[in-house]
Amino acid sequence: MSKRSLSQLSPVAPSSPLAGLAPLPGLPTSSPAPSPVPPSSGPPAGLPQLPPPYLSASHLSRVPLPPRSVGGLRDHLSRPRQCNCKRSNCLKLYCECFAGGAHCDAGLCNCVQCHNNEAHGERRDRAVLQTLERNEKAFRPKIAPGPQPAGGGGAATGGAQQPGSGHSRGCNCKKSSCLKKYCECFQAGIHCVQGRCRCRDCKNLPGNEERGRLGTPQGGAGRVEGGTVYRGGTGAGVERAVIAAAGGDALFAPPSSYTIPVGNPSSSAVAPCSFSVADPVDSRGSGAGLTYQRKMEGLSKALEEKIERERAMGLGVGKNGEPLPPPAPPPRPPAERDSAARMGDIGRITGDYLARGGGAARVVAMELGERARKRAEEGGGAAKTKGIKATNGGARGAGGGGGGGEVAPPAALGCDEELEELQELEELEELEELEELEEELGSGSRAELLRGLLENMQARTEQLAKARREQKAASRIR
C-alpha cells in the first residue's frame, strides 16, 4: 500500500521519499546524451532519460521510477561506499553514504550509531527533508555529466572544459592550491572553473597541467559517484572516476530521488512521511509476547520508582539545564491500561524522565543491571549478572545539587557531564555484555527495550548537545 498518485497533493503530503534510490539523472542541463561512458566499466546507459528531477516547489516531485527498491532494499547501485562517521549518525551530508543517497552498509561502513539504514527509516526521512530544506540540490550531482577530462584522483588533464561542466558549485580551497584531494574539483579529476570556484592559488586550472599528476603521493584515488565527490576511496579507489557517467549511467550511485513536500510550507512538515518499513507491531514475533510484557512491567515499575525517588531527592534538570524546581506535575494516570499501553510505558517513562534531565545515563545503566540481576534470579542460577558499565557510580551526575534546600545544579557543568555520560552509554549497543544479556532475555525483549532507551537517550543527547553548544556560544560571546 501507500501507493499514491502523484497528482494527489494533499496538504501534509507524507511523501515516501527515499526508500530506494532512484536513479536520478543529475544535471539539469540538457545532456545530449552522448556516450560518455568510456570503455572500461562502461555499462550501457540503460537508464531512460527521466524528466527533470527538479523538486518543483509546487508539488511533490516523485520521481517516477521503478519502486523496485521501495523497501529500501539493498540498493544495487553503487560500489563500495563506506563511511566512518562517528558523530553525525550518518544523517548529514558529512556522510558519504547519506550524501550519495544510499544506506549505509553495516558490513562495509564503520560508522557509529548509524541511522542511515532502514531500521531508522523515519529518522532518515526527516534528515533527508531537513537536508533538502537547506539545499534542494543537496542530493544532486555536484559534477556535471558530460565529457570530462576525468582522471579520478588526479589533476585534470585536458584543456578547456565544456561550459556547464565542472563542479556545480565550485570549490573554495584556500591552502591546497586545489592540488590535493581536499579539493573537490581536483578529487573529481576536473579543472577548477574560474568564476565559480573561489579557490586561492589555484593550480588546477585548465592549462596548468600536471602539477603533480597525482597530487597525492599517498592515499588512494578519489572518486565521484553520481556526481557526488567523495574523498574516500583509499587505494582500491576508482582510478578513473568516470565522472561523465552521470549522464545516466548506473555505474554510479545515482543520487536517490528524494522527494520533498513543498506543498504548503506554512504548515510545518511535522509528519514527514510514514514510509515505515514494516509493521513494528508484529515484529515481536511469537513466543516472546508474555515474557516480554512481564519484563516490561517489571522494568517499568522499577524505573517509575527510581524516577520518583530521584525526583523526591530534587534531582533533575530542566531541558535547558535549569534546575527543576517543581516536584513535578504528577500526572499519574490511573492504573488501567491495556497491554498495548503498558508496552509503551517504558518508552513514556524513560522519555519523561530523560526529558526532565535526570541522571539519565545512570538510570539506564542501573536499570539494565537490575534487569540482568532479576533475570539471573528467575532463571535459577547460572545466570550471569551483567553489570553493564555503570559509568560514574553513585555520582550525582546531573542534578547533583547538593545540599540542602535549593538544589541548584550547575547547569553548565551538569549538562556537559551528562552529555558525556550519555554518549558513552549510547554505545551500549556494542557492548558485549548486552549481547550476552540478549541471549538470556530473548532478543525480542532486549532489543525492544534497548531500542527504546537508546532512542530516548539519543533524543536527550541531542538536546544536551544543543544546550551545551548554546552555553558554549554564550560564554564565548562574553
Closest approach of Cβ 82 to Zn ion, in Å? 6
Task: Tell me if 368 contacts Zn ion by CB under 5 A.
Answer: no
Distance CA 157, CA 176 (A): 18
> Inter-axis angle of helices 411-425 and 443-477, to 10 degrees?
150
Residues 204-233 that bind Zn ion (CB under 5 A): 204
Task: Tell me if 85 contacts Zn ion by CB under 5 A.
Answer: yes
Largest CA distance in the chain: 78
Task: Tell me if 131 contacts Zn ion by CB under 5 A.
Answer: no
> Quick check: helix, strand or coil at residue 386?
coil
Closest alpha carbon to 206 in 219, 216, 195: 195
Span from 34-42, 52-60, 122-130, 178-186 in contact with Zn ion (CB under 5 A): 178-186
Task: Tell me if 217 contacts DNA by CB under 7 A.
Answer: yes
Task: Tell me if 235 contacts DNA by CB under 7 A.
Answer: no
Task: Tell me if 81 contacts DNA by CB under 7 A.
Answer: no
Q: In terms of CB distance, is 75 or 448 closer to DNA?
A: 75
Span from 93-101, 244-252, 380-388, 392-400 in contact with Zn ion (CB under 5 A): 93-101
Task: Tell me if 13 contacts Zn ion by CB under 5 A.
Answer: no
Closest approach of Cβ 202 to Zn ion, in Å? 3
Q: In terms of CB distance, is 144 or 434 closer to DNA?
A: 144
Other Cβ atoms closer than 10 A to 64: 12
Q: In terms of CB distance, is 94 or 433 closer to DNA?
A: 94
Residue 134 interacting partner from DNA, Zn ion, none (CB closer than 5 to 8 Å by kind): DNA
> Quick check: helix, strand or coil at residue 360?
helix
Please work out the total of residues on this chain that contact DNA, with binding judged by CB under 7 A: 49
Residue 323 gets which letter from DSSP?
A: B
Task: Tell me if 2 contacts DNA by CB under 7 A.
Answer: no
Contact (Cβ atoms closer than 8 angstroms) between residue 237 and residue 153: yes
Closest alpha carbon to 202 in 239, 228, 241, 167: 167
Task: Tell me if 218 contacts DNA by CB under 7 A.
Answer: yes
Closest approach of Cβ 316 to DNA, in Å? 24
CA distances from 456 to 169, 328, 477 (A): 38, 20, 31
Name the grid cell of 222.
Answer: 578519489
Residue 419 interacting partner from DNA, Zn ion, none (CB closer than 5 to 8 Å by kind): none
> Inter-axis angle of helices 360-379 and 432-441, to 10 degrees?
40
Closest alpha carbon to 95 in 79, 111, 107: 111
Span from 240-248, 441-449, 450-458, 470-478 in contact with DNA (CB under 7 A): 470-478
- Residue whose entry in the numeric block shows the C-alpha cell 541511522: 115
Residue 230 interacting partner from DNA, Zn ion, none (CB closer than 5 to 8 Å by kind): DNA
Q: In terms of CB distance, is 3 or 134 closer to DNA?
A: 134
Distance CA 350, CA 456 (A): 7
Please work out the total of residues on this chain that contact Zn ion, with binding judged by CB under 5 A: 20
Task: Tell me if 197 contacts Zn ion by CB under 5 A.
Answer: yes
Site string for DNA, 94-113 (x = CB under 7 A): xxx--x--------------
For DNA, the binding residue among 23, 189, 222, 255 (CB under 7 A) is 222
Task: Tell me if 446 contacts DNA by CB under 7 A.
Answer: no
- Residue whose entry in the numeric block shows the C-alpha cell 499501553: 341
For DNA, the binding residue among 100, 233, 358, 399 (CB under 7 A) is 233
Task: Tell me if 234 contacts DNA by CB under 7 A.
Answer: yes
Amino acid, res. 111: C
Task: Tell me if 343 contacts DNA by CB under 7 A.
Answer: no
Residues, the chain, total?
Answer: 478
φ, ψ at 437 (rounded to 5°)? -60, -40
Closest alpha carbon to 123 in 131, 434, 97, 59: 131
Closest alpha carbon to 2 in 21, 23, 13, 16: 16
φ, ψ at 167 (rounded to 5°)? -70, 125
By DSSP bridging, strand 223-225 and strand 228-230 are antiparallel
Q: In terms of CB distance, is 197 or 457 closer to Zn ion?
A: 197
Span from 48-56, 62-70, 128-136, 433-441 in contact with DNA (CB under 7 A): 128-136
- Residue whose entry in the numeric block shows the C-alpha cell 560564554: 475
Q: Which residues bind DNA (CB under 7 A)?
A: 83-88, 90, 92-96, 99, 130-131, 134-135, 138, 142, 169, 171-176, 180-184, 187, 215-219, 222, 230-234, 466, 469-470, 472-473, 476
Q: Which residues bind Zn ion (CB under 5 A)?
A: 83, 85, 90, 95, 97, 104, 109, 111, 114, 116, 171, 173, 178, 183, 185, 192, 197, 199, 202, 204
